[in-house]
Structure 1
Amino acid sequence: MKLTILGCYAATPRTITNPTAQVLEIKNRLFLIDCGEGTQVQLRKNKIKFSKINHIFISHLHGDHFFGLIGTISTFALLGRTTDLHIYGPKGVKEIITLQLRLSNSWTTYDLFFHELESNESQIIFEDSKVVVKTIPLKHRVYTNGFLFEEKLGERKLNVDAVQQYHIHTAYYQKIKNGGDVTLEDGTVIENKKVSFDPIPPLSYAFCSDTAYHEAILPIIKNVDVLYHEATFLQSEEALAQKTLHSTAIEAATIALKANAKQLILGHYSTRYEGIERFKEEAKTIFPNVLLADDGSSFEF
């Protein structure tokens, strides 16, 4: 699982910082999460192939999280894309994008599918054979969702030495990988655990931005491997965080601790601060495993 941060700062883009957008690579799938202004430029800078992005998830309709969407969609068309593109976001995202496409007479060369979200309960919005994606209802000034990406449990691993020892025919290999026992010609039953290894534990990633401190998300993200949680403010601006329905670094760390997350990544920093190291310092007083997102950074898990 690899996370590439295209932008992770709040409000407006600057020459040295970009608004929220990130790419999650999980089970050989690339998911674009949020699409702030300048996202397509950041995709190019980070050498991420446009053609591999088939699903875009928009948390909410504040500009620093989706103003780059129409440009990205249009560029995909200019490059001659033919593969379907799926957009998941709050109700209204279809109206916004199709209005721009219609008035500019810039219809896509590919099929564009909108999956508009309205529920205040967590729901599965994407699922295939290897990955499932659920919403994480957040607490912000407009309707907002985070997203939980979970790998599905993979096949068991064949114990090559063991299957050879028992003289098991290759025709049974897939059955073993699927967890089944094998019955030999003489009637002997070989238990699956004797000829296979446990599959690699599935990984999970939770994206939570923008949101005030919100313990209601804890059951959804319990035991998550990696939690990205907004930390717009330091503790000195706690009152401002409450007023704007954002979080402090300490609040993000508290959520990580109570969720029993393995790793916390902070982001969505206010640009009022000189640097971002203090966010990590404050968060580590609550939760030990803290990483700082920054534009262009990547993390592999």
Structure 2
Amino acid sequence: MNLTILGCYAATPRTFTNPTSQVLEIRNRLFLIDCGEGTQVQLRKNKIKFSKINHVFISHLHGDHFFGLIGLISTFALLNRTTDLHIYGPKGIKEIINLQLRLSNSWTKYGLFFHELESKESEVVFEDDKVIVKTIPLNHRVYTNGFLFQEKIRERKLNLDAVQSYEIEKCYYQNIKNGKDITLDDGRLVENHKLTFDPVPPMSYAFCSDTVYNENIIPIIKEVDVLYHESTFLESEEALAEKTMHSTAKEAARIALKANVQQLVLGHYSTRYDSIELFKEQAETIFPNILLAEDGKSFEF
């Protein structure tokens, strides 16, 4: 599982910092999460192929999380894209994008599909044979969702030595990998665990930005491998975090601790601070496994 941070700062883009956007690669699927201003430039800088992006997830309709979307959609059109593009986001996103396309007479020739979200409960918004994506209802100034990406359990691995010792024909291999027991020609039943190894454990990634401290999300993100949680402010601005419905680094760490996640990635920093290392220092007093998001940084999990 690979995560590339395209932008991880709050509010406005600056010369050396970009608003929220990131790319998650999981089971050979590429998902774009949020699309702040400048996202397509960051995609080019990080050498991520536009053609691999077929699903875009927008957390909420504040500009630093979706102002780059119309530009990306238009660029796809200029590049003669033919593959469908699916956009998942709050109700209203279709109206916003279609208004811009209509007034500029810039309709796409590829299929543009909007999956508008309204539910305040967690729901499945995407699923295929390898990955499932659910919403994480957050508490912000406008309707907001995080997203939980989960690998489906892989098929079991053949123990070739065991399979060959029982002289099992290759035509049964797929059934064995699917977890089925095998009956031999002499009537003996061979249980699947004798013929296979456990698959690689499925991985999971939770994206939570923007939100006030909210323990309601803990059951949804319980024991995920990686949690990205906004940490707009340091402890000295805790009152401001509550007023603007954002979180501090320590509050993000408390969520990680209570949810028993493996790894916490901090991001969505206010640009008022001189060093993002301060976020890590404060969060580590509560939760040990801290990584700092940085524009252009990639993580492999």
TM range (shorter): over 0.9
What amino acid sits opposite 1:67 in the alignment? F
2 CA distance for matches of 1:255 and 1:298? Answer: 23
Q: Which secondary structure state, in structure 2, belongs to the residue aligned with residue 271 of structure 1?
A: coil
2 CA distance for matches of 1:32 and 1:112? Answer: 15
Superposed displacement of residue 109, structure 1: 1.6
What amino acid sits opposite 1:104 in the alignment? S
Superposed displacement of residue 239, structure 1: 0.5
Report Cα offsets for 1:6-42 as digits up to 9, x if no partner: 0000000001000000000001000000000000000
Superposed displacement of residue 141, structure 1: 0.3
1 CA distance for matches of 2:105 and 2:24? Answer: 32
Residue equivalent to 1:102: 102
What amino acid sits opposite 1:140 in the alignment? H
Residue equivalent to 1:251: 251
Residue equivalent to 2:130: 130
Superposed displacement of residue 253, structure 1: 0.2
1 CA distance for matches of 2:123 and 2:192? Answer: 34
Residue equivalent to 2:166: 166
Report Cα offsets for 1:260-291 as digits up to 9, x if no partner: 00000000000000110010000000000000
> Tell me, which stretches of 5 or more residues in structure 1 are unaligned?
none
2 CA distance for matches of 1:27 and 1:246? Answer: 32
Report Cα offsets for 1:193-236 as digits up to 9, x if no partner: 01100111000000000000000001100111100000000001
1 CA distance for matches of 2:186 and 2:126? Answer: 46
2 CA distance for matches of 1:143 and 1:85? Answer: 23
Residue equivalent to 2:150: 150
What amino acid sits opposite 2:192 in the alignment? N
Two-structure CA RMSD over aligned residues (Å): 0.4
Residue equivalent to 2:30: 30
Residue equivalent to 2:48: 48
Superposed displacement of residue 107, structure 1: 0.4
Superposed displacement of residue 165, structure 1: 1.1
1 CA distance for matches of 2:167 and 2:297? Answer: 49
Report Cα offsets for 1:35-83 as digits up to 9, x if no partner: 0000000000000000000000000000000000000000000000000
Question: How many equivalent pairs are there?
Answer: 301
**Counterparts of 1:1-20 in structure 2 under 5 Å?**
1-20=1-20
Report Cα offsets for 1:111-163 as digits up to 9, x if no partner: 10000000100000000001000000001000000000000001000001111
Residue equivalent to 1:210: 210
2 CA distance for matches of 1:166 and 1:14? Answer: 65
1 CA distance for matches of 2:110 and 2:199? Answer: 37
**Counterparts of 1:167-206 in structure 2 under 5 Å?**
167-206=167-206
2 CA distance for matches of 1:95 and 1:148? Answer: 25
Residue equivalent to 2:281: 281
Per the normalisation by structure 2, the TM-score is 1.00
What amino acid sits opposite 1:202 in the alignment? P
2 CA distance for matches of 1:126 and 1:18? Answer: 27
Residue equivalent to 1:242: 242
Residue equivalent to 1:233: 233
Q: Which secondary structure state, in structure 1, belongs to the residue aligned with residue 115 of structure 2?
A: strand
2 CA distance for matches of 1:9 and 1:113? Answer: 28
What amino acid sits opposite 1:166 in the alignment? Y
1 CA distance for matches of 2:185 and 2:228? Answer: 53
What amino acid sits opposite 1:39 in the alignment? T
